[in-house]
Structure 1
Amino acid sequence: MAEHAVAAVLQRAGATVIQEVASLGQVPAKVEALKSELKRMQCFLRDADARMERGENEMLSQLVSEVRDVAYSVEIIIDTANILARETSRPPSLLGAISKGACYPVHCKRLYSIGKRIDQVTARVGAIFREFAKYSISSSTGLNETRHSMDENESMRARRLTLPDFGDDVDVIGFDSEINQVKDELLDSENKDLTVISLVGPGGAGKSTIARKVYNLVAKKHFNSCAWICISQQFTVYGALKDIVKGAMGSQDFEELGTMSEMEIIKKIHSFLKDKRYLVVLDDVWRIEDWDMVQAAFPDVKNGSRIALTTRNSAVSNHPNARKIIQEVKLLNNDESIELFNRKAFPSYVLHGRDDLDSFRELGKALALKGNGLPLAIVVMGGFLSKNLRITEWRRMVASINWDAMKNEGDIRAILDLSYYDLSSNLKVCFLYITSFPEDYAVPVGLLTKLWISEGFIPNVHGRSLEETALGYVEELAQRCLILIEKKSSRCIRTVKVHDVLRDWGIGRARREGFLKDCSSRDEVETSYSNEMRAYRVVLYDSVCVKVGVAMPNLHTLLIFNAARLERNVFSFRGLNYLRILYFDGMRGRWQLPAEIGQMVHLRYLGLKGGTYVLPASVSNLTNLHTFDARDAVVEALPIDLLSISTLKHVHIYKVESWSVWKTTIQSNLKSLFILPGSQHPKAMGRSN
């Protein structure tokens, strides 16, 4: 992972070369020399990362962590120098020239500080190279990365020829019996009682797939009100109730909910549903207590209403104090396993012009049976092998995985490890990034690709825009069966999800490697664990109320979900001066962003979702901002200088209540601009080039 940290810095540095202005003195030359050292270091890191994956030397973890810290320090230096260059290269007015002269000592002090930091980082780089020699870490020839690059180019060509088949029937092989049984129970006209139908089975057995298939078949046709609720391990009563209101009541106006207690919301839902025939799916229920906390919302008025739940815990399925039907989800038989494997391992675009398919199919049959009928294991294995149509690779999988352990424990981590190791460094971090979103979260592809680009994960590819390359990565991960396609239109993927088993695995991996830290409490933010590297990205879920900048002053990315639960008088931006990505999701009510946000001069992406925001004038100081995305929020007033930020490329504000259009200066570098006064439809006004 440190290898990619260095690569990402070099990628960003290449795109934003320090301006060669006289006011920066020797800084540009020093940074170029430092970048050359980082390029040389990247070759050594390939060997270090490979040895860490094999578990050869735990001491390497600290060394790799130091390399990553150096890479981020170089990025800060580059950004700081460019900010200083832009400030000193503006054509001054007469008063500006006088002011500039008065500020010259401050400029010299800042320039000296940059030079000193470069010297410190250069010394650290030298010490790291000496450590490489101590551990006998060699400079990789780069053959492995070259292979990945070739694989990515091949897969790009394959996608241009044929997109994968994303039909609804792909992942329901072997489930016909369960689907029909659950459907019959839901529609049983003789059973008027409120009935809880439970699908029980291990993770990856297909419980949610069956429930989703049946839900899509019967929900709107046979029930007056429907809702799909993901419970998950991060269950909160408020979050579940909010989702029920949104799904069953069709209401997205949560202003009223913000002033209501949980019991008041339960009564509101109960009152709404009591004269409806409703269907509610509670997906991935872990604990008996989770059911107890929401069951009062569901009235039994003897009209054939149904609740379906999926769970790994048989005790949960037996608990509801209502009429119960329990459906054990069986594993796939041999023929079904082979059919599912073949669909994933042999997509249509790899079948053309091959004369060795019989050999692959014979070996594939043996591999499919080793999946022990667990659909997720077979799907991920097939997705991995579809990108590795080499007999030696298939035989290596047979020999390298402890199949007995998987059979006895249902543990598919070995398959996930193998599939993950096969990804290029860019795809690895893109996949881990998706796992930061909450469980069962439908991730908009437009949001995801903008975050990837802002993070520097997407390389420049000749003849393709960054957005096109990022969309190609989404398709690649879908073809490898590492993400699920939630919604598509005109053969374009709109939203994606990650299976909860893959998400749990990815979150664990991200924490160990210091790529990302997910936190659901103050203690998790403030605690460092012995088996984790220091993280530069943090995801806060639900009711986390903490001065995160104090606990993690070097933070680069902060994603906050269910931000409505934040205590605004406690949460603070102080200390987040190096932040590059800031995203709020699920805010309610009106929130005045503090003026201190203007000190976050390294910020590249600012995303706001839900609620009404008041932006301080200081947001115009965000001189590195590339994207401002508030398409799912209301902006009360737009500062007139915001659109004059020279680095700004994308602005999406679909509802702004106050905007002095004629006083606003719009700089020419914008690629997309959508600003809608009042409640106009987003297509009514805007610019895109």
Structure 2
Amino acid sequence: MAELAVRSVVQKLGNLIVQEAMDLHGVRDQVEWLERELRRMQCFLKDADAKKNKGGIDGERVKNWVTEMRDVAFEAEDIIDSYMDLKLRGQQKDGCIGFLERYMFILVELIGLHKVHVDLKGVKVRMHELSESRTSYGIANIGETIGTTSQFRSQDVIPILPQLNEEIDIIGFDDEKEKIVQELVDITNTNRSVISIVGFGGLGKTTIAKSIYNDPKVRKNFDRLAWVIISQEYNILEIVKKILSAVSITSSGDTIEKLSAKLFNELTIGKYLVVLDDVWEENVWDQLQKVFPDVDNGSRVIITTRFLNIPKIADPTAQPHELRFLNENEGWELFLRRVFPRQNIETCCPIYLVDSARKLVKRCKGLPLALIVVGGLVSTKPKNKDAWEKIVKSMKWQFVEGGERCLEILALSYNDLPYYLKSCFLYFGCFPQDMAIPAKTLIRLWSAEGFLPTKNGKTIEEVGMDCLEELAQRCMIQVTKRKYDDSASYCRIHDLLRDMCISEAKENRYLEIYKNGTANCGTKTNAARRLMICQEIETLNYSNSKLRGLFYYNEYIYNTLAFKALNEQFGGFKLLRVLYLNSLDMSEFPSGIKSLAHLRYLELHVDNPKEVPSWIGHLRNLQTLIVHCRMFIGKISDSLWTIENLKHVDLGISSSVPPPNMGNIELKNLETLKWVPAGEWIGKMLPKLTNLRQLNITNISVDHADALSSSLQKFVQLASLTIQGDEIPLDNIITAFFQSTLPQEIVYLGRIQL
């Protein structure tokens, strides 16, 4: 997270240097120095992140250094955003009143710029101190490369818990095991085949592989067998030695060339089965496949991995075995076998403990590792309801015996993520438990926060979808629904991973959760960047001028007190970029939002809105506006269409009155336009929206057919069209829509006229 914070600030500093009026008080020189120093410090952060994860006194000291580095980066970001806030507030306005307002603001701006100068000097001093102290902590310069910290992984990681017992822990995967065994012993397939077992950490990949490896039917089918654990930190020479020692006798003094040749020759003699357990990188297979001969005798290689891309590379023709979570009955059986070993599953659990046991099983969400850890804990407690209910009520994984180890195993995948994916993953902590999260919502939020890297030839949305798919490929999240073009539509995160996500987010000042009227927001210089409120509130006792994201969820339909509480505090969140008000029903747009000049993402529920207010135009940085409402919006202010940065507009049921001209701006960035009523603007303004990818228009009639079809011919990127009306003329509209070669979908709502 420190690396991400530094990269974000470096980018902002580069942009800030080119701003006008930067020479006042020597601010420009300080900003340039800070940019150079932060860029240089990036070279040390990967090594520091690796060292802090090794624990011990030295690891703790380095961890403190990384924390200070992150805090300095956050402080620099706050200074930059505060400066940009001054610039936004002081922009020239039209007319005499605008001139007077600008003139009166000059003094405020001078005071603000002086504060920026003083604050930057303080950051400069702290940066110098950190630079001096890093050498005493042994933090090395390992080069500035975008990637993961996985190249500096700890060797102290045990891939599975030692108490796992294959005979009882295979529950729920008997069918999958039988399929793999059949593939292994299939005499009709004489090619060397690679069989892959893929799944989320803790699902039991290694357990199943061991059960298969030790199966008598399998062992008698092969002449030579070898099992080698790859894990995150690996050495190809050592792997080759281990395989060779399992099938023959090796000489430790031989070179990799000699050992590889010897292993290849040994494996050509007879039929072999080699298990490569816990593979993390494609490079492992790229190198090892050279020592696995294919002599047409039915030899096999089994790979266990958390990554779906590795099986595709190892054997593109084979379908990987993707493990699932256990269902309720399977989870119940596994739990009872841990708590009551060697007892009858049907009768072992006393009736007075069944309710508590069911709650614990439900808490594990079908994850075998979690069920084993909790079952092991419960087995040590007295068999009475009070003792078990105490565990149910107080269970926090990091405080459960064995739970910390469980979280560590899950955290391996997180630690291996590239810096930008870490921040994308932690965003899942901003959503309620078990929520089906729209993929497009996530990507737009990531974009608003500036998390997504730029890639030549790809839009920011395409980069975001790539990030989402990579998280799914790494089994960090689950894609629960896909669209017609196979892209992700909805996703979710396992509860246990969400717990780990929130724990990591809190430690890194990424997210805080507001509970029982308070949040552990720390000091003003130590406040979290995002706040999630998941409860009914009457007053909001939270002060944090550094807040970048605010998320509110409420199951109640009407909550005027919550609306008032939030509206009164928006003025204190001047640097807010994301405002996500889910299920907060209001009769109007909260007026406090108009002061949030940095806002890029706004989503809210408005029960019966009279209008999209004119002050919406003050939000010059707004990229996404989503309005959920039960009734028609009475009026859409023209000022909405003056926001040049707008990319996505979804107005829910929208207005029955079309916008007159949608302003005089071409809205070159607009990609999504949903639930806007048809009108003259279709002929005047729609043809200018050439970057549209999704279009949803209501109240279409025959009168709009020619103008709409003419506009559609210009939209080479349009992939989704929804039109609604009493009489929908489809003949020329369909022809115009399908001019593009993109995957497309069209939806008609109403009476179709051909």
**TM-score (norm: length of structure 1):** 0.59
- Aligned partner of 1:512 in structure 2 is 507
Alignment match of 1:67 (pick from 65, 69, 86)? 69
> How many residues get paired?
490
Q: How far, CA to CA, are the matches of 1:120 and 1:463 in structure 2? A: 40
Structure 1 pair 77/683, CA: closer, same or farther in 2 (3 Å)? Answer: same
Matched, 1:580 2:582: no
- Aligned partner of 2:626 in structure 1 is 629
Secondary structure of 1:129's counterpart equals: helix
- Aligned partner of 1:536 in structure 2 is 529
CA RMSD of aligned residues (A): 4.9
- Contact 1:651-1:675 within 8 A present in 2 as well: yes
- Aligned partner of 1:558 in structure 2 is 550
- Aligned partner of 1:20 in structure 2 is 19
Q: How far, CA to CA, are the matches of 1:119 and 1:659 in structure 2? A: 54
1:635-661 C-alpha deviation (Å, 9 max, x unpaired)? 554343233234433322233337672
Secondary structure of 1:661's counterpart equals: coil
Aligned AA (1:558): L
Matched, 1:491 2:486: yes
Aligned AA (2:468): V
Secondary structure of 1:628's counterpart equals: strand
Deviation at 1:439, TM superposition (A): 2.0
- Contact 1:52-1:61 within 8 A present in 2 as well: yes
1:6-31 C-alpha deviation (Å, 9 max, x unpaired)? 112334555x4455324874544542
Deviation at 1:71, TM superposition (A): 2.1
- Aligned partner of 1:674 in structure 2 is 673
Alignment of 1:182-197 (within 5 A): none
Sequence identity of aligned pairs in percent? 26
- Contact 1:640-1:660 within 8 A present in 2 as well: no
- Aligned partner of 1:255 in structure 2 is none
**TM-score (norm: length of structure 2):** 0.55
- Aligned partner of 1:138 in structure 2 is 139
Which range moves more in the overlay, 508-517 or 446-455? 508-517
Aligned AA (2:583): G
Q: Which has the greater radius of gyration? A: 2
Structure 1 pair 549/492, CA: closer, same or farther in 2 (3 Å)? Answer: same
Secondary structure of 2:481's counterpart equals: strand
Alignment of 1:353-372 (within 5 A): 355-356=289-290, 358=292
Deviation at 1:447, TM superposition (A): 0.4
- Contact 1:514-1:534 within 8 A present in 2 as well: yes
Alignment match of 1:600 (pick from 579, 596, 601)? 596
Q: How far, CA to CA, are the matches of 2:214 and 2:576 in structure 1? A: 47
Matched, 1:418 2:407: no
- Contact 2:589-2:606 within 8 A present in 1 as well: no
Deviation at 1:469, TM superposition (A): 1.3
Structure 1 pair 642/75, CA: closer, same or farther in 2 (3 Å)? Answer: farther
Matched, 1:51 2:44: no
Secondary structure of 1:70's counterpart equals: helix
Q: How far, CA to CA, are the matches of 2:476 and 2:213 in structure 1? A: 21
Aligned AA (1:70): V
Alignment of 1:608-627 (within 5 A): 608-609=604-605, 611-612=607-608, 616-627=613-624
- Contact 1:204-1:501 within 8 A present in 2 as well: no
Deviation at 1:91, TM superposition (A): 8.1
Structure 1 pair 91/587, CA: closer, same or farther in 2 (3 Å)? Answer: closer
Q: How far, CA to CA, are the matches of 1:441 and 1:405 in structure 2? A: 25
Aligned AA (1:627): T
Deviation at 1:437, TM superposition (A): 1.8
- Aligned partner of 1:233 in structure 2 is none
- Contact 2:676-2:696 within 8 A present in 1 as well: no
- Contact 2:548-2:578 within 8 A present in 1 as well: yes
- Contact 1:637-1:659 within 8 A present in 2 as well: yes
Structure 1 pair 548/136, CA: closer, same or farther in 2 (3 Å)? Answer: same
Alignment match of 1:683 (pick from 690, 693, 696)? 696
Alignment of 1:292-303 (within 5 A): none
Deviation at 1:337, TM superposition (A): 11
Deviation at 1:74, TM superposition (A): 2.6
Matched, 1:651 2:638: no
Alignment of 1:388-427 (within 5 A): 412-427=406-421
Secondary structure of 2:533's counterpart equals: strand
Aligned AA (1:123): V
Deviation at 1:472, TM superposition (A): 0.7
- Contact 1:47-1:137 within 8 A present in 2 as well: no
Deviation at 1:537, TM superposition (A): 1.5
Secondary structure of 1:657's counterpart equals: coil
Deviation at 1:605, TM superposition (A): 1.4
Aligned AA (1:69): D
Secondary structure of 1:641's counterpart equals: helix
- Contact 1:605-1:628 within 8 A present in 2 as well: yes
Alignment match of 2:108 (pick from 98, 106, 109)? 106
- Contact 1:19-1:28 within 8 A present in 2 as well: no
- Contact 1:345-1:383 within 8 A present in 2 as well: no
Secondary structure of 2:475's counterpart equals: coil
Aligned AA (1:516): L
Q: How far, CA to CA, are the matches of 1:36 and 1:347 in structure 2? A: 33
Matched, 1:432 2:426: yes
Q: How far, CA to CA, are the matches of 2:658 and 2:111 in structure 1? A: 38
Structure 2: any 5+ residue segments left out of the alignment?
152-170, 178-200, 219-274, 315-368, 377-401, 680-693, 699-707, 718-754
Deviation at 1:119, TM superposition (A): 2.6
Q: How far, CA to CA, are the matches of 1:350 and 1:519 in structure 2? A: 44
Structure 1 pair 477/637, CA: closer, same or farther in 2 (3 Å)? Answer: same
Alignment of 1:339-358 (within 5 A): 355-356=289-290, 358=292
Q: How far, CA to CA, are the matches of 1:172 and 1:636 in structure 2? A: 55
- Contact 1:458-1:469 within 8 A present in 2 as well: yes
1:463-503 C-alpha deviation (Å, 9 max, x unpaired)? 22221111111111111111111001222111111122222
Structure 1 pair 353/204, CA: closer, same or farther in 2 (3 Å)? Answer: closer
- Contact 1:631-1:653 within 8 A present in 2 as well: yes
Q: How far, CA to CA, are the matches of 2:464 and 2:119 in structure 1? A: 33
Secondary structure of 2:621's counterpart equals: coil
Secondary structure of 1:674's counterpart equals: strand
- Contact 1:655-1:676 within 8 A present in 2 as well: yes
Deviation at 1:139, TM superposition (A): 4.2
Secondary structure of 2:60's counterpart equals: coil
- Contact 1:563-1:584 within 8 A present in 2 as well: no
- Contact 2:579-2:602 within 8 A present in 1 as well: yes
Alignment of 1:151-166 (within 5 A): none
- Aligned partner of 1:502 in structure 2 is 497
Q: How far, CA to CA, are the matches of 2:650 and 2:80 in structure 1? A: 27
Q: How far, CA to CA, are the matches of 1:346 and 1:44 in structure 2? A: 24
Aligned AA (1:670): N
Q: How far, CA to CA, are the matches of 2:643 and 2:697 in structure 1? A: 24
- Contact 1:558-1:583 within 8 A present in 2 as well: yes
Q: How far, CA to CA, are the matches of 1:46 and 1:474 in structure 2? A: 23
Deviation at 1:35, TM superposition (A): 1.7
Structure 1 pair 540/47, CA: closer, same or farther in 2 (3 Å)? Answer: same
Deviation at 1:94, TM superposition (A): 6.3
Q: How far, CA to CA, are the matches of 1:123 and 1:141 in structure 2? A: 24
- Contact 1:21-1:85 within 8 A present in 2 as well: no
Aligned AA (1:465): T
- Contact 1:605-1:626 within 8 A present in 2 as well: yes
Q: How far, CA to CA, are the matches of 2:465 and 2:284 in structure 1? A: 20
Secondary structure of 1:487's counterpart equals: strand
- Aligned partner of 1:466 in structure 2 is 460
1:438-478 C-alpha deviation (Å, 9 max, x unpaired)? 22211111000111111121111222222111111111111
1:309-337 C-alpha deviation (Å, 9 max, x unpaired)? xxxxxxxxxxxxxxxxxxxxx99992499
Structure 1 pair 599/610, CA: closer, same or farther in 2 (3 Å)? Answer: closer
